Amino acid sequence: MPPNPKFDVTKLVFPKVLDKTDNTNKFSCGTVEIDEFIHKQAMGFQEQRLGVTYLFHFETELIGFATLCMDHISKHRISAKDRLTKPINSYPGLLIGQLGVTEKYQHKGAGKYICDFCFDRALKLSQNVVGCRFLIVNALETAIDFYVNYGFTLAPKQEKQKQKLMFLDITKRKRMYSARRVS
């Protein structure tokens, strides 16, 4: 794809929550499972309160999305050095259930921007809404390097898993999201 010199990640508008009027049929990130989710399943997940999908636009073009839901991570799934000192068996977190960026805008900062938004949501939840210590993702093999570069840790012993459990302790990462906010 030819580069888009006009794209500036700081010009992305505050994400909107998916609704029935949104047309996501042209979205394509190049991964069939993610494309099918936004085309066919995201609205149903939202209607059943299984996740909320946020759409990210550059000008009028849908360039990415993230679906968020509550989750937890078992202390036995992470290495001893990453465990908390509290005597509990699992830790609350916000799951990035799906995240996709259109092929045209990949490797231009849009994915990082969307992760910053997700991190910001987790941080806000943890401050005054509900317990939330980790940002969690089950990453496809092709996305592991992206999430590692963002600061996620790959949980051990997952060699045979198609999706790899990754987590980010939100108390150990500085707030990075700086989009125009709408409360």
Looking at residue 176, its pLDDT comes to 54
The whole-number average pLDDT for the span 106-135 is: 94
Residue type, 129: V
Looking at residue 174, its pLDDT comes to 64
Q: What are phi and psi of 146, to 5 degrees?
A: -60, -50
Alpha-carbon distance of 114 to 108, in angstroms, equals 12
* pLDDT level of residue 178 (50, 70, 90 thresholds): very low
Alpha-carbon distance of 94 to 122, in angstroms, equals 6
Domain boundaries, the chain: 9-172
Counting residues of the chain whose pLDDT is more than 90, the rounded percentage is 72
Query: Over 80: is that where the pLDDT of 2 sits?
Result: no
CATH number (3.30.540.10, 3.20.20.70, 3.40.630.30, 3.40.50.11540) of 9-172 reads 3.40.630.30
pLDDT tens for 26-84 read: 999 999 999 999 999 999 999 999 999 999 999 889 999 999 999 999 998 888 888 88
Q: Which residues contact 60 (CB under 8 A, 6 or more apart)?
A: none
Distance of CA 78 to the CA centre of its chain: 19
Task: Return the H-helix or E-strand segment holding 101.
Answer: strand 90-101
Task: Name the DSSP class of 39.
Answer: I
The whole-number average pLDDT for the span 151-178 is: 84
Looking at residue 6, its pLDDT comes to 67
pTM for this predicted structure:
0.88
